[in-house]
Structure 1
Amino acid sequence: MAGHFRGSAPQAFPVRPQFSGFMKPCRFEGELRYLEIEGDLPTELDGTFYRVMPDPQFPPFIENDPWFNGDGNISAFRFSKGKVHMQQRYVRTEKFVREREAERALAGAYRNKYTDAVEFKVRTTANTNVFYFNKVLLAAKEDAPPFAMDPITLETIGLWDFNGQLPSLTFTAHPKLDPVTKELVCFGYEARGDGTPDVCYYNISAEGKFTQTVWMVAPVIGLIHDFAVTENWTCDLDRLKVGGEHWQWNPNIPFYLGVLPRRGAKGSDVRWFRAPNAFPGHTTNAYETDNGQIVFDLPLTDKNVFFWWPDAQGNAPDPTTIKADYVRFTFDPKSPNLDLPEPTVLLKRDMEFPRIDDRVQMKRHRHSFFDMMDPTLGTNFGAIMPVLGGGYPLYNCLGHFDHDTRVLQTYFPGNMHMVQEPVFVPRSDDAPEGDGFLIVLVNNYHNMSSELHVIDTRNFSAPRAIVKLSIRLRAGLHGNWVDAKDLEV
């Protein structure tokens, strides 16, 4: 290895925004029982909200390490009978275990094995998403297979290759669960290793059997972070060309949307639609119309959201100028014209992390929920900025958009607060779409601690309950809700 590690291990985290203020690493493992609750916690909430945050256990030896290069630390908030308990535990990846033995950081720059102090077999931090499938909890980062954990104890089971079935070296952090068949629809990019253009798509049955594998080649070697699935199609997002860092923004490359039949496909069946250069955000959902069109909703901006990775000339946008509109692409997947039609703007608001009622995943959705930045709401930016920390997009409220009426509702948690990604929980199995609760982790900069806000969609402007955590959880990436009945063995 071309090791870059020199001298003794750093004893303190670098004096950088991504390691300061609210973004100072948490590094907590343990249990907090009977969390303090203000308000009326719905007794309908019976299950666990899992989320993951990048949380380095040791100071990095790459001083300007990006904030999301930390070790995966899983939080489990267990709701039952009007009470909430919390557990938190790191994923025992190879990196985590070997660094704990060495008592120092051994991995170098983000997704760059040539900067490591030692050689790893599997280098992942498992820090991007956590989801439940076939009785195990899977912590995933898209550079490797996921790590399995016990959903009750959070003990790490180990690297998960689905009993030897996983065909690719990588696994998406955003698999999609079909609410009808219970299949997990997945893919891996750079699927044959770093720098390879190969994309591998696969379906996994509810019993954990791989039922289809399709290999494709992408038009550029790029980050394919998220995708959407309809009943008959998958849509992969291809963005950002590779450069000196693992990723580098290239403003001259089109936005590509790869469309593949969901079943019975060959690699040659993929069709790469193009649009002008843009940075797509996380997908909301996709579905098919009666006349065979695909409808696809997502945030979209013309700027490089990953501003810490500039283009080849060193250009990067001022982060305060980055805003994503909420857009809808509608197109014919069989069209001979591979140029995507211009999207319809659903909302000209700065938004991200959209979620829907997962019961309508892959079908027409009416309701979507998301993070939003609205500077007019009265956020005390002057007081927040000195303790903010850096490296994470800022959102001061939640949005609820009714796609039928075009009505936008807003939940504003307070003038010293910022929100993380929400999850939606239906009120009951047979409740109408969008009737239920949002659970969101909220940063309280007044007392530098975290809170869980529970919002009833029937009264979206006010919290139904606030759960006080008494500790500070730095910015996370993604999480999911699992009903208690689904956790029963």
Structure 2
Amino acid sequence: MGLPPVSQAFPVTPQTSGLMAPCRFEGEVRHLEVVGSIPKEIDGTFYRVMPDPQFPAFIGNDPWFNGDGNVTAFRITDGKAHFKQKFVRTEKFTKEGEAHRALLGKYRNRFTDAVPFKVRSTANTNIVYFRDKLLACKEDSPPYAMDPITLETLGLYDFDGQLPSCTFTAHPKLDPISKEFVCFGYEARGEGTRDVCYFSFNQEGKLIENVSMVAPVCAMIHDFAVTENWVIFPIIPQTCDLERMKAGGEHWQWNPKIPFYLGVLPRRGARRFDVKWFTAPNSFPGHGANAYENDHGEIVFDLAMSDENVFAWWPDKDGNAPSPQEIVQKLTRFTFDPKSDMLDLPTPEVLLEDDMEFSKIDDRFLMRKHDHIFFDLMRREYTNFRSIGMKVGGGAPIYNSLGHLTISTGSYDIYNPGSKHLIQEPVFIPRSAEEGDGWLMALVNNLDVGYSELHLVDTKNFVEAQAVIKLPVRLRPGLHGNWVGSDELAGRT
């Protein structure tokens, strides 16, 4: 019996229209047009990944999170910029290409697939560099390895047979001093399980830490944080129910009745029962900027927080979800004693009231005390929504500016690329040994002309772009990316 026919046209929905329309471009463009100038000391590659469906979904209302991973590499050297883009050749991408149609069902629900898959990964959430390989990460599976120069897919990567979890985080952390690669997986023993596995690899790629533990609920743990001595797991109250999935429902459902859980585990030499689960009122933890230990041995953890369900496309059991205009994420600081027997978290400090997300620090200060935080920012008065409203599409959170907060002084700078521009997650490129001295680079969608641009902003002159690099294509909103200096590419450049 054959599969039922599906449309070859993408539906006209907010998640597949305007800025959110699939890109589906693979190729290379050298010598991109540059307005302004790129400093010659910038030498490296900005890698980013976007969910980009190869085919229209056969299940309606497919969230934009379910698109195929399409990886972009912006090579910057000698004041010039070059562009390359290629899909990750996942099992899904390959099978669907052979079938000339979509086969994967709902987001993270194998019971809705048209055919069986061994690994359902779309490899679309983050692209990180480790030991001469790019790792295309999606947190429901092992990563896919790619060649950092050609972007050819090398296959699933299990760390030479050492991967202790069937899942892998989209946000591994590289210790800038020890060079340890610190990782975890949730639903680590399979979908619907409360198991969380923490593990890390040394610079030579050997597994050196491996701790399995059980979370209070089976829920999403998208990002995490690491200090010199602790590992921190913020649980998003999007919970999983296997019976709901078997009935054709969603993997995730917002649960407003459970607290915000924050797991804390010793970074080295821990056992499964050493984890503590601190709690705070129900809320949505976004991406972390960084965590460190202060002089009193307390953990200081800066992250985006919201009182609303940021992933509104997965509402609660009654179908309740906020509108995009209601969702505000604030830069928030938790300070607490990880050794305390009092598991109620102290009331956090709000560092910034503005709606923000996708924070970055100078990565050389990761896991240690930081003073500078960079992030995406939404100031609605900066954008001419009347003229670009139909071009925006829907589904993805949108931001129109970059922010730079200096914590010690309270200095707050904003870069806005224009009234018809939307901005994606930035990366930081260092210039000197001074923390925060360098450049931010971010992909910008120019909705006036319908193409994308790469903006380079000096952190010491945050008013205007030092360079605007123009692309001849429109790139869909992505999730995450990273800057890799040419000296890190193991001589591959």
Q: TM-score, length-normalised on structure 1? A: 0.98
Aligned-partner Cα distance in 2 for 1:163–1:319: 43
The answer to whether residue 332 in structure 2 is matched with residue 334 in structure 1 is: no
Alignment-derived partner of residue 36 in structure 1: 33
Aligned-partner Cα distance in 1 for 2:380–2:72: 30
The C-alpha deviation readout for 1:334-389, integer Å capped at 9, x for no partner, is 11100000100101110000000000000000000000011233x11111111111
The answer to whether residue 183 in structure 2 is matched with residue 206 in structure 1 is: no
Alignment-derived partner of residue 478 in structure 2: 476
User: What's the secondary structure of 2:212's corresponding residue?
Assistant: strand
Report how many residues are paired: 483
Alignment-derived partner of residue 63 in structure 2: 66
The C-alpha deviation readout for 1:68-125, integer Å capped at 9, x for no partner, is 1000000000000000001000000000011101111010100000110100001100
User: What's the secondary structure of 2:358's corresponding residue?
Assistant: strand
The answer to whether residue 353 in structure 2 is matched with residue 348 in structure 1 is: yes
Alignment-derived partner of residue 251 in structure 1: 256
Q: Any residues of structure 2 matched to 1:48-447 within 5 Å, and which?
A: 48-239=45-236, 240-243=238-241, 244=244, 245-377=250-382, 379-428=383-432, 431-447=433-449
What displacement does 1:7 show?
Answer: 2.1
User: What's the secondary structure of 1:101's corresponding residue?
Assistant: helix
User: What's the secondary structure of 1:384's corresponding residue?
Assistant: helix
Alignment-derived partner of residue 43 in structure 2: 46
Aligned-partner Cα distance in 2 for 1:168–1:26: 33
What displacement does 1:9 show?
Answer: 2.6
User: What's the secondary structure of 2:265's corresponding residue?
Assistant: strand
Aligned-partner Cα distance in 2 for 1:460–1:209: 41
Amino acid at match of 2:410: R
Aligned-partner Cα distance in 2 for 1:44–1:416: 31
Amino acid at match of 1:442: V
What displacement does 1:169 show?
Answer: 0.3
Amino acid at match of 1:68: F
The C-alpha deviation readout for 1:249-280, integer Å capped at 9, x for no partner, is 01011000000000000010000000000001
Aligned-partner Cα distance in 1 for 2:473–2:336: 47
What displacement does 1:10 show?
Answer: 1.6
Aligned-partner Cα distance in 2 for 1:266–1:362: 21
Amino acid at match of 1:313: D
Q: State the percentage of identical aligned residues.
A: 63
Query: Which residue among 474, 485, 488 is the counterpart of 1:486?
Result: 488
Aligned-partner Cα distance in 2 for 1:421–1:250: 28
Amino acid at match of 1:360: F
Aligned-partner Cα distance in 1 for 2:262–2:187: 16
What displacement does 1:6 show?
Answer: 5.4
User: What's the secondary structure of 2:288's corresponding residue?
Assistant: coil
What displacement does 1:41 show?
Answer: 1.0
What displacement does 1:55 show?
Answer: 0.3
- Root-mean-square deviation over aligned CA pairs: 1.0
What displacement does 1:22 show?
Answer: 1.2
User: What's the secondary structure of 1:154's corresponding residue?
Assistant: coil
Amino acid at match of 2:454: L
Q: Which runs of 5+ in 1 are unaligned?
A: none
Q: Which runs of 5+ in 2 are unaligned?
A: 245-249
Deviant stretches of 4+, over 4 Å: none
Aligned-partner Cα distance in 1 for 2:441–2:124: 20
Alignment-derived partner of residue 247 in structure 2: none
Alignment-derived partner of residue 464 in structure 1: 466
The C-alpha deviation readout for 1:177-228, integer Å capped at 9, x for no partner, is 0000111000000000000000000011111110110000000000000000
Amino acid at match of 1:418: L
Amino acid at match of 1:401: L
What displacement does 1:141 show?
Answer: 0.3
Q: TM-score, length-normalised on structure 2? A: 0.97
Aligned-partner Cα distance in 2 for 1:375–1:95: 38
Aligned-partner Cα distance in 2 for 1:316–1:480: 32
Amino acid at match of 2:158: D
The C-alpha deviation readout for 1:390-419, integer Å capped at 9, x for no partner, is 111111100000010011100000000010
